[in-house]
A and B are shown apart, each in its own frame.
Chain A
């Protein structure tokens, strides 16, 4: 269960204080697939940073399985990211000189999985997202965009996170591949019972998620169930 209460994030800018997120509150149940939509500058990315413990809020609470991540120390935030959060980025952000398999194993290493268990788990995850054993040995530069995003999803799932945060996961893919990736995320949220929160511009995709939140100027406008 993800519960966000009165979340506010402000930044100091040259022209004064900027409120990127203002009094945002919502709840997502475990295993739900939710989308966040909004125009550029509406605060989507900032919200994702706060939920992923990449940044700390100015005020408010973020409860993940009853733990307020807004109050975590730097070291605890890192630990939280390693075990409770999986990230899927628009530009995949795979480590270029590691193979697909090694990219997934890297997340497993940070999650504290023993070295001898990592390879087996990584192969299983990559197979689950549809990568052949030959493709698993390739470096990102020799994989298509869709394949890279699959690796990114496998990496996000590596440590069985409570939440997967996806930032425009289909934004860099053609519509057909984007649909496949969306379907993959959707099926994973069901099979792995993982909460997925995806930022997207694609209203078609947003329409297919369990819930859709709309942000405007840092404020939550609507919660469409």
Chain B
């Protein structure tokens, strides 16, 4: 029997006391691991979002935002200038329009609501004083009830708006074609009993439903996506573009590309870098990462305090025993080593249970932290906005950012495990330091005085 085996045996001397200490330590170390996993997973997601989405640039006609304001659409030549700018690897153009009851036989699946009514109040007044399509010249028509409109988006690349896994049935449209076909949002399709192969009318033409999609947003799922050239032709806006989303080859080149575009397009376009959007989107995740770090530190301190108080209690209880060991020739180093082994044993047992606990709960804890942040975070993201959402082009980038923010997957790596074990050992050492000092101060003569 040596110092180590005595320490290990002493650790399990009182099963009830040791059990209580081990349970408390297990919870603390489990929390350390769970918080480390949450922090690591969130950090990885932040890096991923910055790497994948921070290279996008949105170019809109100057003075137009969210379907409001006024200005001229971008032209085909301007789009050529954009795509020819160095470091732009790809570009997707969109033209959005809204279908009123006169333009389509579709019934909008959106409720007008008080916001919609306020936005339409000017048109209502104007409508009542002007000649309406179908009315005789100079005639006034009866004031009609306000109805919500259906947004139609023409795009050169439909996959930038609807990912293939969001297509619930049918197939993608070819954005570069002039076919009279469309992807219809799930909510709108249900409202109008549409399925793949069904037809509806828009701008006096019969359009075939090629696919149904669900992006998880009421607004987006109440809209229609069609090939860009089709929308341009149907709306009589040949070559007009309401928005271009360009991808830059590297996030390092985003700033220089923005400068080049501003120079080339002058005051004809508003240019927004997605780096800012990405930075805003990851703010909730950065808060979680900070919270998780605070959790790691807090749990580690709690663990150290548990070991510290337990060992102080043990040393106080066994003061006489320590005196006896010193009286029969035990050195301070041996006695301290024995008690540190005891602390280490309790910590390791608590650590093994805690690591198991941490593995089990790290996923749910990470998810609940992310979900908790989504309540405020996504609202902030939506509010800061994205002109695209309000412009009716389905807000692809921002929606993707929000989806990314909430799709954090907790992963336990060997590095996290090693960090947890390192923290665990640190807890044992810190927790044993003060008791070790107390042990060194116990004088062997006390054993005789207490006789």
Number of A-B contacts (CB under 8 A): 78
Please report the C-alpha to C-alpha distance between residue A82 and residue B326 in the assembled complex, in whole angstroms.
9
Please report the C-alpha to C-alpha distance between residue A66 and residue B325 in the assembled complex, in whole angstroms.
26
Chain B interface, number of residues (Cβ within 8 angstroms)? 25
CB distance from B222 to the nearest CB of A (A): 74
Please report the C-alpha to C-alpha distance between residue A45 and residue B449 in the assembled complex, in whole angstroms.
7
Q: Please indicate which of the listed interface residues B321, B325, B331, B444 has the most CB atoms of chain A within 10 Å of its own CB.
A: B444
Please report the C-alpha to C-alpha distance between residue A102 and residue B9 in the assembled complex, in whole angstroms.
12
Partner of B451, one of A45, A82, A109: A45
Partner of B329, one of A45, A81, A98, A105: A81
Does A81 lie within 8 Å of B445, measured CB to CB? no
Does A54 lie within 8 Å of B1, measured CB to CB? no
Please report the C-alpha to C-alpha distance between residue A168 and residue B9 in the assembled complex, in whole angstroms.
31
Bitwise, A64-108 to B at CB < 8 A (1) or not (0) is: 000000000001001101110001011101011110001001110
Does A54 lie within 8 Å of B451, measured CB to CB? no
Residue in A closest to B449 when the chains form the complex, CB atoms: A45
Does B329 lie within 8 Å of A54, measured CB to CB? no
Does B329 lie within 8 Å of A110, measured CB to CB? yes
Does A115 lie within 8 Å of B451, measured CB to CB? no
Residue in B closest to A95 when the chains form the complex, CB atoms: B321
Does A111 lie at the interface of the complex (its beta carbon under 8 Å from any beta carbon of B)?
A: yes
Please report the C-alpha to C-alpha distance between residue A168 and residue B327 in the assembled complex, in whole angstroms.
16
CB distance from A71 to the nearest CB of B (A): 18
Does B9 lie within 8 Å of A110, measured CB to CB? no
Does A210 lie at the interface of the complex (its beta carbon under 8 Å from any beta carbon of B)?
A: no
CB distance from A101 to the nearest CB of B (A): 9
Residues in chain A near residue B325, CB distance under 8 A: 95, 106
What are 25 residue pairs bridging A and B, where the CB atoms are less than 8 Å apart in the complex? A45-B448, A45-B449, A48-B448, A49-B445, A49-B449, A54-B445, A54-B448, A55-B445, A78-B331, A78-B332, A81-B444, A83-B329, A87-B328, A89-B324, A91-B451, A93-B327, A97-B13, A98-B6, A102-B1, A109-B2, A110-B328, A110-B331, A111-B329, A115-B2, A167-B448
Interface residues of chain A, those whose CB is within 8 Å of chain B, are 45, 48-49, 52, 54-55, 75, 78-79, 81-83, 87, 89-91, 93, 95-98, 102, 105-107, 109-111, 115, 155, 159, 167-168
